[in-house]
Amino acid sequence: MTLDGITEQADVDDDAPSTVVFDVGEVLIDETRVWGVWADLLGVSRLTFASVLGAAIVQGEGLQAVFDHLAPNLEWRSFEQEHEDRYGGFREEDLYPDVRRCLEDLVSLGFSVVIAGNQPTRRRTQLEALGLPHDAMAMSEELGVAKPDPVFFDRVLELAGNDEPEELLYVGDRTDNDVAPAAAAGLRTCWLRRGPWGQLQDLPETAAEPDLVLEGLGELATLLTTWRGETT
Ligand SMILES: [Mg+2]
């Protein structure tokens, strides 16, 4: 695990964030099943799909680029309902194994926990059914705006009931959708380097350095407590 950034922040106790906001995909939820179902829908092996998705990510492209390569002339949104029917929504097995403990620890340590990612509204119900500790939760569809739009982060502040962006830490796996726009909106940032985007993306040269760079959530509660100037 890398702990880049914490040494600069460890003794700045009154600057420590009081609210931790979690992205959903590849932060809370392992999306392996999501992409596996897309591979099945397109009739290619999961390895092939994952390889083409990785190439699209490196080239700064989205899911449509994967379709354009594997199934020319098809528009991914026309398969969205069929994908959802096969996928069936989030399950306990989709949670990264460090998630539940991290959220429980943060709540018990007095941090406010918010969940807000680029997802359809139905994902909130699915996440609520998993019983994750949290103080507030909303998906981009119900907020009416998606990352990287700066208005998304205004909505996150409203959701958190906190108008001081530097008191929020946004935890995300993507530099383009999470780390860069959250920092631009004045939030503290934690870049979680897991999943396809977390592994493959680089930080844009113009983006502020994240406050934390982690490979998992196992150390987050301890790091934030240290940042707050306390010992665990
Ligand atoms: Mg994500």
Q: What is the pLDDT of residues 4-28, one digit of tens each?
A: 444 444 444 568 999 999 999 999 9
Burial of 140 (0-12, 13-18, 19+ CB in 10 A): buried
Separation of CA 18 and ligand 1 centre (Å): 21
Q: How many residues comprise the chain?
A: 232
Separation of CA 203 and ligand 1 centre (Å): 15
Separation of CA 171 and ligand 1 centre (Å): 9
Report domain extents, the chain: 6-29+93-227, 32-87
The domain covering 6-29+93-227 belongs, at the CATH homologous superfamily level, to: HAD superfamily/HAD-like (3.40.50.1000)
| Ramachandran quadrant class, 110 (left: phi over 0; alpha: psi -120 to 50; beta: rest) | left
> Given this model, what pLDDT does residue 205 score?
87
Closest among 25, 22, 20, 21 to 120, alpha carbons compared: 25
> Given this model, what pLDDT does residue 1 score?
40
Residues of the chain with pLDDT under 70: 1-14, 231-232
Separation of CA 140 and ligand 1 centre (Å): 12
Separation of CA 196 and ligand 1 centre (Å): 10
> Given this model, what pLDDT does residue 5 score?
46
